[in-house]
Amino acid sequence: MINLKKLLSENVLGDLPSSKLLKMKWNPVTEATHDTPEHTELEEAAFSLNEAFATWKMQFAPMTLSGVTLDPKKTFTVKARSTVEAIKKASKAAGIKGDGWMSTQTHKLVKIG
Q: Where are the domains of the chain?
A: 46-111
Q: List, for residues 69-106, the tens digit of each pLDDT value.
A: 999 999 999 999 999 999 999 999 999 999 999 999 99
pLDDT in tens, 6-29: 655 655 556 655 555 555 555 666
Nearest to 71 by CA among 100, 103, 94: 94
- Give the predicted TM-score (pTM) of the model: 0.56
Q: Which amino acid is at 16?
A: L
* DSSP-derived secondary structure letter, 50: H
Q: Give the dihedral sign, CA 70/73/74/77.
A: positive
In this predicted model, what pLDDT tens digit does every residue of 59-79 receive, in sequence order? 999 999 989 999 999 999 999
SS3 assignment, position 62: coil
Q: What is the pLDDT of residues 25-70, one digit of tens each?
A: 556 666 655 554 566 777 776 666 667 789 999 999 999 998 999 9
Q: Angle CA(81)–CA(104)–CA(93) in degrees, nearest 5?
A: 60
